[in-house]
């Protein structure tokens, strides 16, 4: 079915682009913050179980995160493809991208089951204490099944982002956070008549939450009047290998780019475990705080992908430029505010994640404070690099950013972090300085690529 949409009159004033960024960005920011509440809730409640459970829970949730976020790169590929198609009034291109995105993440899910099932062995291989590795396995044997509904929902969410259904995404994200908290409270501690399952209860909460949210999202999309004419789910069982290939071509470098950054922090968690359980628990708290503030530029990065992708589709080069710079300016401003909060209130923020009656609480707080100070310092560069990544994705430029990410995070960041932490004996603080250096280098290279986009052939001269 061909769908002709009215062509909007172009307005490339800075005011228009700032307003457009905020209209789509505000609900997406709220949605990302609500999404981050899931990790905050898990960390808080695992902290109530004790420092040992918190340390194991940090590794478990991060391992699961690194697996599903890699698959989410395939779902994120839908955003630039569908946005470009929508900007060019190509309804067929929109539905093909979503259908084959769903196919791609389904194949990936089955591949992901093997490493998740052997989580304990992987943790022991990485030098973690056996008691911590057992906790990771207890969590993962349940949480692994939540990966499929989670990835399916991300495909639906990508389409919602392209159609600028920001409020719907916000409602879904809030519902996800609330359901996760309720299920955790029930199954971790035996409330509401549920069995008391400890860390395994957090995994049960994750599984039930993702099934519920995907079911709700699917029901909404099937009945939405604006989506129905696109026949997204019609004959979904039929392969479209050309569209499938496009999703893979754009999706796999997005996935590896995400993996390069995320695995930098996972690698840091593993190295923190080599220092001590207290160091790992402190790292988990500092990382969770940094993740909360990172949700704002992460949401705005999706805004950049949509707005730049639509401008590319209609070949509006001035609009593309101003869309990118508008998102960057707004993101940097919010990152600066986040850094001020971290510098001003580190200890109260850290204590939110700990039971003051636990014997190691004071040690964890003392270790975490300098980590939070460093996290504040890299808010700006982290924001700059993720916005540039989103802008380049909107231009369907994913392969070179992937190589930049691998270079910055693994060939520079990880060796520097290890050297500062263990060779020069700066411990956890040195490790976090290595992370900050990697993010700063990525910010420079990725933004430089956007600035020189004509030289690199991303847009016409």
More confident residue, 168 or 53: 168
Confidence class of residue 5 from pLDDT cuts 50, 70 and 90? Answer: low
The pLDDT score that the predictor gives to residue 182 is 94
The pLDDT score that the predictor gives to residue 4 is 53
Confidence class of residue 3 from pLDDT cuts 50, 70 and 90? Answer: low
The pLDDT score that the predictor gives to residue 207 is 94
132-169, pLDDT tens digit by residue?
889 889 999 999 999 999 999 999 999 999 998 989 99
337-388, pLDDT tens digit by residue?
989 999 999 889 888 877 677 778 888 889 999 999 998 888 889 999 999 9
The pLDDT score that the predictor gives to residue 264 is 86
Closest C-alpha to 135, from 43, 40, 58: 58
Q: Where are the domains of the chain?
A: 14-451
Neighbouring C-alpha atoms within 13 Å toward the C-beta of 4: 0
User: Which letter, b or e, does each residue of 71-82 get, where b requires 16 or more Cβ atoms within 10 Å of its Cβ?
Assistant: bbbbbbbbbbbb
The pLDDT score that the predictor gives to residue 8 is 56
> What rounded mean pLDDT belongs to the chain?
88
Helices (H), 144-276: 147-162, 166-189, 199-223, 241-275
Residue with tokens 């949210």, as numbered in its chain: 213
| CA distances, 244 to each of 118, 218, 232, 400 (Å) | 30, 21, 15, 21
The pLDDT score that the predictor gives to residue 245 is 92
Confidence class of residue 436 from pLDDT cuts 50, 70 and 90? Answer: very high
Confidence class of residue 261 from pLDDT cuts 50, 70 and 90? Answer: confident
Which H or E run includes 74?
helix 51-76
Q: Which of 38-47, 146-155, 276-285 has the highest mean pLDDT?
A: 146-155
The pLDDT score that the predictor gives to residue 294 is 86
The pLDDT score that the predictor gives to residue 11 is 80
Pair 13, 317: CB distance under 8 Å: no
More confident residue, 58 or 178: 178
184-236, pLDDT tens digit by residue?
999 999 999 999 898 899 899 999 999 999 999 999 999 999 998 888 888 88
Q: Average pLDDT, stretch 242-251? A: 92
Contacts of 344 (CB under 8 A, 6+ apart): none
Closest C-alpha to 59, from 256, 276, 210, 284: 284
- Calculate what percentage of the chain has a pLDDT beyond 90: 49
| CA distances, 67 to each of 61, 281, 298 (Å) | 10, 21, 18
380-409, pLDDT tens digit by residue?
899 999 999 999 999 989 899 999 999 999
Confidence class of residue 29 from pLDDT cuts 50, 70 and 90? Answer: confident
Q: Average pLDDT, stretch 429-442? A: 93
């Amino acid at each position: 079915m061909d769908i002709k949409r009215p062509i909007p009159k172009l307005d490339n004033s800075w005011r228009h682009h700032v307003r457009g960024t905020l209209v789509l960005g505000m609900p997406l920011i709220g949605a990302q913050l609500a999404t981050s509440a899931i990790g905050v809730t898990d960390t808080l409640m695992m902290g109530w179980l004790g420092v040992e459970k918190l340390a194991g829970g940090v590794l478990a949730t991060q391992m699961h995160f690194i697996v599903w976020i890699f698959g989410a790169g395939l779902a994120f590929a839908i955003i630039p493809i569908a946005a470009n198609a929508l900007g060019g009034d190509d309804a067929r291109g929109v539905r093909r991208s979503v259908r084959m995105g769903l196919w791609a993440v389904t194949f990936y899910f089955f591949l992901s089951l093997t490493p998740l099932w052997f989580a304990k062995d992987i943790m022991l291989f990485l030098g973690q204490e056996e008691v911590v590795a057992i906790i990771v396995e207890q969590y993962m044997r349940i949480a692994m099944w939540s990966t499929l509904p989670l990835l399916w929902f991300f495909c639906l969410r990508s389409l919602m982002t392209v159609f600028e259904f920001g409020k719907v995404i916000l409602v879904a994200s809030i519902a996800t956070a609330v359901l996760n908290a309720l299920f955790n409270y029930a199954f971790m501690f035996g409330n509401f008549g549920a069995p008391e399952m400890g860390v395994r209860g957090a995994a049960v909460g994750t599984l039930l939450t993702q099934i519920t949210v995907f079911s709700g999202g699917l029901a909404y999309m099937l009945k939405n009047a604006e989506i129905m004419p696109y026949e997204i789910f019609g004959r979904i069982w039929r392969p479209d290998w050309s569209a499938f290939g496009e999703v893979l071509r754009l999706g796999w470098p997005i996935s590896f780019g995400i993996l390069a950054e995320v695995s930098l922090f996972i690698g840091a968690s593993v190295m923190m475990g080599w220092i001590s359980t207290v160091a790992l628990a402190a790292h988990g708290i500092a990382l969770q705080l940094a993740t909360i503030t990172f949700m704002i530029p992460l949401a705005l990065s999706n805004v950049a992908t949509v707005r730049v992708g639509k401008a590319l589709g209609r070949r509006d080069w001035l609009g593309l430029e101003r869309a990118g710079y508008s998102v960057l300016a707004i993101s940097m401003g919010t990152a600066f505010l986040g850094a001020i909060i971290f510098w001003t209130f580190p200890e109260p923020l850290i204590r939110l994640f700990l039971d003051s009656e636990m014997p190691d609480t004071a040690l964890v707080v003392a270790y975490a404070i300098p980590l939070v100070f460093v996290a504040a310092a890299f808010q700006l560069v982290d924001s700059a690099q993720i916005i540039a990544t989103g802008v380049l994705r909107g231009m369907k430029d994913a392969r070179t950013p992937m190589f930049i990410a691998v270079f910055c995070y693994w060939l520079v960041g990880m060796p520097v972090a290890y050297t500062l932490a263990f060779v020069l004996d700066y411990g956890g603080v040195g490790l976090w300085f290595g992370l900050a250096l990697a993010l700063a280098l990525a910010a420079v290279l990725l933004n430089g690529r956007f600035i020189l986009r004509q030289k690199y052939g991303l847009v016409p001269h």
